[in-house]
Amino acid sequence: MARIAVIGGSGYAGRHIVAEAVSRGHTVLSVARRIPSERQQGALYIEGSLADVPSLLAELVGVDVVVSAVAPRGDMEGLVRPNLAALAATLPEDVRLGVIGGAGGSLVAPGGPRLVDSGFPDEFKTEALEMIGVLEDLQAEVSDRDWFFIHPAGGFGAYNPGERTGAYRDGGDVLVTDAAGESFISGEDFAIAVVDEIEQPRHVRGRFTVGY
């Protein structure tokens, strides 16, 4: 079993990842700026922020995998990319880093274009472009660290929670859509995909998309 830290563990994606990892017997550390009132039994909750990498590193000693589920919105806009770069530069190289991105960096078809360049809503472009920058930083990194970057489906979020099915599809670089052209995955099934990747790495220093 792995020791997994989830930064942003009280957010939508983060809390589902925490719950899924605990259910499989992993040791899970949920890191958030505020400890939630509702907690997953079996997880350890601590206060911490991606915006304070030196303090965060002290809390991550001994972990095998760090998953960032922090979105660059609100007061974190513009702060996720530089702080993830700082974290990646200072974590021990044997710690695997996972990043939960957005759908905007997915390709709409093999070879492109990206979703963010294809009629993407203007109000979400800044967030999408910052996470694309995070991916580019990881791809340019020259250390031996393993990492993965996962794009959820377009209809992923607390506004559209869905239900657990136990299934998902891996689209590689391309946004996953169904026969009607819709792109969706529930919070629980997204978490299954993340923990599957932690347990059986299939995307070594790579990115992938998930959906139904």
Count of residues making up the chain: 212
The per-residue pLDDT for 44 is 98
Write out pLDDT tens, residues 85-130. 999 999 999 999 999 999 999 999 999 999 999 999 999 999 999 9
Domain boundaries defined on the chain: 3-211
Q: Answer yes or no: CATH 3.40.50.2000 is held by domain 3-211.
A: no
The per-residue pLDDT for 209 is 98
CB-neighbour burial class of residue 42 (10 A; exposed 0-12, middle 13-18, buried 19+):
middle
Q: Whole-angstrom Cα distance, residue 94 to residue 65?
A: 9
What mean pLDDT is predicted for residues 3-25?
Answer: 98
What mean pLDDT is predicted for residues 145-166?
Answer: 97
With a threshold of 0.95, does the pTM exceed it?
yes
Task: Sort residue 29 into left (φ over 0), alpha (ψ -120 to 50) or beta.
Answer: beta
Q: Whole-angstrom Cα distance, residue 199 to residue 211?
A: 19
Specify the residue for token string 């999408």: 128
